[in-house]
Structure 1
C-alpha cells in the first residue's frame, strides 16, 4: 500500500537557521532517506523549494486566476514528501515517526487512492 508522508514546517534558510543547524538538518534527512531506501520501502522523496516559489491556480466564477506565492496563509508550509510502499498504516506511521521534520512541524500520512504507472492509472492496494 502506498502512503505519502508529507512534511509541514516553518520555512527556514541558512541565514535564519545558521549553517551548522542547516547542515545537521541535511544530514538527518539524508539518513532518513537512506533508511527508507535500505528497508526497500522508498518509492520517491522530494524536498520542495520555498513557498515563495509557488504559483497557485484557482478558478473563481469560471475564470482562471494565477497567484504567485503560497495560497495558504500559514507559517507552516509543505516542505517535502516521501512516498513509501508498506503493508499498512501502522508501518507508514512507524516510518513517519522517524521523519526529522517531526522535531519542528507536523508530519501528515495519507494513503494514495490511485497512482500512475507507465501512463495508466492504477488502484492503490
Structure 2
C-alpha cells in the first residue's frame, strides 16, 4: 500500500541556519532518500518552494477564485513529501520516524487511495 509522508516545518528556519547546518540538513535528507530507495519503498519525493510562491484556487458559486498564498496560515508549512510503499501503517510510521523532518517539524502519514484503473502494488 502507498503512504504519503507530508513534511511540515517552519519554512523560515532554513534561512536562519548556518551554511554548515544547511549542508548537514541536505546530507541527512539525501541519506534518508537513499535508504528509502535501497529498501525498495521509495516511490517519489519532492521539496516544495516556500508558501510565498503558492496560489490557492477554489470555486465560489461556480466561479473560480484565485488567491495568492497558501490555503492555511499556520506555524508550520508543508515543505515537501515522500510517497512510499509499505506493507502496513506500522511500516510507514517507522519510515516517518526516521525522516530528518521529524526532528524539526511534523510528519503526517496518510494512506493513498488506489487510483481506479491503475494496477495495484
- Secondary structure in 1 aligned to 2:118? strand
Question: What is aligned with 2:95?
Answer: 95
Distance 1:28 1:7 in 2: 14
Q: Please, which runs of 5 or more residues in structure 1 have no aligned partner?
A: none
**What TM-score comes out, normalization by structure 2 length?**
0.91
Question: What is aligned with 1:70?
Answer: 70
**What TM-score comes out, normalization by structure 1 length?**
0.88
Q: How many residues align?
A: 121
Distance 1:62 1:87 in 2: 41
Question: Structure 1's 57 and 121: CA in aligned 2 closer, same or farther, altered over 3 A?
Answer: farther
Could you tell which deviates more after superposition, 43-52 or 7-16?
7-16
Distance 1:88 1:60 in 2: 38
Deviation (angstroms), 1:61: 2.5
Could you tell which deviates more after superposition, 46-55 or 12-21?
12-21
Distance 1:98 1:83 in 2: 14
Distance 1:10 1:91 in 2: 26
Deviation (angstroms), 1:85: 0.7
Distance 1:14 1:102 in 2: 15
After TM superposition, the structure 1 = structure 2 runs for residues 76-115 of structure 1, keeping only pairs within 5 Å, are: 76-115=76-115
Decide which structure has greater strand share.
Answer: 1
Distance 1:123 1:88 in 2: 18
Deviation (angstroms), 1:98: 0.3
Question: What is aligned with 2:18?
Answer: 18
Structure 1 vs Structure 2 CA RMSD? 1.7
Question: What is aligned with 1:8?
Answer: 8
Deviation (angstroms), 1:90: 0.7
Q: Please, which runs of 5 or more residues in structure 2 have no aligned partner?
A: none
- C-alpha deviations, 1:70-112, integer Å up to 9, x for none? 1211121110110111111111011000010111111010000
